[in-house]
Copies of this chain bind each other. A is one copy, B any other.
């Protein structure tokens, strides 16, 4: 069972793909879609759309998570994040996939068991749950992995057949 987490932005969109199999989480893919500042917003959003569509086609997630943000520096930033967010939601709808829109606190709760966890603590738990080093993974991708973990848990919880207990994988 695979989920895709997205941390949207017009300049940088982080993505994370995780699998949950027999109660074990696994990192499938993670990275950032970066667009050129020299391009128009329209062209940048098109690139985000193409890249996210390719990720869905490649990994066939059963669920997509896109963080719901309430606080931004200003309206202009919110508008810019909203544009990329709209494209991410569109990709989900175009593939008929259910979308989670967790708040940052809900993401922290899902991976740390604490909605007020620090950013570093989230990264530590994501690495531990996926049993990988995230040293070379950009922050936006780590955030996206945390969102994906929350979504794959939710996908497992919404299955009608009995689900094995979720546990962290071991080295």
Interface residues of A (CB under 8 A from B): 40-43, 45-46, 49, 69-72, 75-76, 78-87, 89-90, 92-94, 99, 101
Contact of A75 among B71, B86, B94 (CB under 8 A): B71
Q: Contact between B79 and A42 (Cβ–Cβ < 8 Å)?
A: no
Q: Within the assembled complex, what's the spacing in Å between the Cα atoms of A85 and B89?
A: 13
Q: Within the assembled complex, what's the spacing in Å between the Cα atoms of A72 and B81?
A: 14
Which residue of B has the minimal Cβ distance to A40?
B99
Minimum distance in angstroms from A159 CB to a CB of chain B = 20
Q: Contact between A79 and B90 (Cβ–Cβ < 8 Å)?
A: no
Q: Within the assembled complex, what's the spacing in Å between the Cα atoms of A108 and B163?
A: 59
For A92, the chain B residues whose CB sits under 8 A away are 42
Q: Within the assembled complex, what's the spacing in Å between the Cα atoms of A79 and B82?
A: 4
Q: Contact between B90 and A82 (Cβ–Cβ < 8 Å)?
A: no
For A80, the chain B residues whose CB sits under 8 A away are 82
Q: Contact between A45 and B79 (Cβ–Cβ < 8 Å)?
A: no
Q: Contact between B90 and A49 (Cβ–Cβ < 8 Å)?
A: yes
